[in-house]
A and B are shown apart, each in its own frame.
Chain A
């Protein structure tokens, strides 16, 4: 046992001697330490933003649900004739309204309308409800109710309700809305003016009074304490 310890001692001593020689060689060949230029203080150059944009899901009362659906329903009665003036003039009539009431057909519209215009409308419906504090699933359900009301009671002034529109407006609209939600939040929180401009343009609900996700974050720094004051309006 003692022989083994002696051998170990000798071996480690040799190792140490070799290591010292190596360090001496390395000291000779290594280049002198140069001081690197100081990095700019990132905080100093960061863009300042007064608000943080997000979505805050919350529970809603039945009254709030009805009010939100009623508000959108009222808006559709104004927007539809304004955006489809020619169609309303040429095809719209009370007789058509009566004939189309309760009718459900496959429409023959071109893909531009069914796969572009309707999903875009659906995405803005989805984003309206998201802005009002509904979760994604709830927003989809509320969009479905709103677009069904439009199909069955507003658009029938000119044409019967369409199966594709009933499905594609809220569903494809929500898929598109989810993408717009993510992109707009990213852009809005960059603090960049162009980012904010595009963010608000693709998701106009973030700009309007009913948007509940605009959070004001104020740093609170005092003696021996630091914190954030988070201010949410709704």
Chain B
């Protein structure tokens, strides 16, 4: 996974310094795609086990969707994007009111990221690569880099857990975090957006929690927040997301 991302980044760096943009400009667009994410969570309290050895926790894999609504000028695009990711985690440990909750369960993340994007000049796919994909019309492409602040809500629902009190199976923990997002991608450079240009991008995000809430979800119609408190740095998240999508309109 990381080797693939590394190669993609190097390829993008090369393409970012090549020629001639001609895609649709000065227009809004709505994009959507499917995402695969690999996340690492770190709690300040659970970096080491009682013996003082560093705990090597498993990454959490999540799948979901990305939507982007943006306005594109010639070389700059600006807009807002959001990812909804669903994942299963087997090795979680969280701090809640001075007690550590350990267990396994599901994680839902929703993030909102306003961004600014810089588009490279257009480059064409080398003839030999085109020949390899016989029958598929490969348009010119451009590379892009985008970044922006990001806000994220992580909802953690534990199926099996180990805790002394308060936390029940009908409860969920929600962490609100803030961080930054940096993405590198490739997008088809079509003259009209109605040609539904395709894109692929790799995003890296880092977050730090600032608020945690314990929520009783036993009545789905009326969510009851049992308690909230500041959770500065309770949980740190690093996510790598690969998205494949297209412009809808």
Q: Contact residues of A with B, CB < 8 Å?
A: 86-87, 106-115, 136-137, 140-141, 163-164, 167-168, 171-172, 174-175, 178
Say yes or no: A171-B82 contact (C-beta < 8 A), given A108-B174, A137-B30: yes
The answer to whether A137 touches B29 (Cβ under 8 A) is: yes
Determine the distance from Cα of A174 to Cα of B82 in the docked complex, in whole angstroms. 14
Residues of B within 8 A of A109 (CB): 223
B192 interface hit (Cβ, 8 Å)? no
The answer to whether A171 touches B222 (Cβ under 8 A) is: no
Residues of B within 8 A of A172 (CB): 67
B213 interface hit (Cβ, 8 Å)? yes
> Which residue of chain A has its CB nearest to the CB of B153?
A106
Residues of A within 8 A of B155 (CB): 108
A151 to chain B, nearest CB (A): 14
The answer to whether B82 touches A108 (Cβ under 8 A) is: no
B230 to chain A, nearest CB (A): 15
Q: Mark B17-60, 1 if CB is under 8 A from A, else 0.
A: 00000000001111010000000000000000000000000000
Offer 26 A-B interface pairs, CB within 8 angstroms, sorted by A. Answer: A87-B221, A87-B222, A106-B110, A106-B174, A108-B155, A108-B174, A108-B223, A110-B217, A110-B220, A113-B220, A136-B30, A136-B249, A137-B27, A137-B30, A137-B249, A140-B30, A140-B69, A141-B28, A163-B112, A164-B112, A164-B153, A167-B80, A172-B67, A174-B30, A175-B248, A178-B248
Say yes or no: A171-B30 contact (C-beta < 8 A), given A110-B217, A111-B108, A178-B248: yes
Residues of B within 8 A of A107 (CB): 223
Interface residue ranges of B202-249 to A (CB < 8 Å):
213, 215, 217, 220-223, 225, 248-249
Determine the distance from Cα of A190 to Cα of B151 in the docked complex, in whole angstroms. 46
The answer to whether B67 touches A106 (Cβ under 8 A) is: no
Residues of A within 8 A of B248 (CB): 175, 178
B84 interface hit (Cβ, 8 Å)? yes
Determine the distance from Cα of A164 to Cα of B80 in the docked complex, in whole angstroms. 12
Residues of B within 8 A of A108 (CB): 155, 174, 213, 215, 223, 225
Interface residue ranges of B172-209 to A (CB < 8 Å):
174, 176
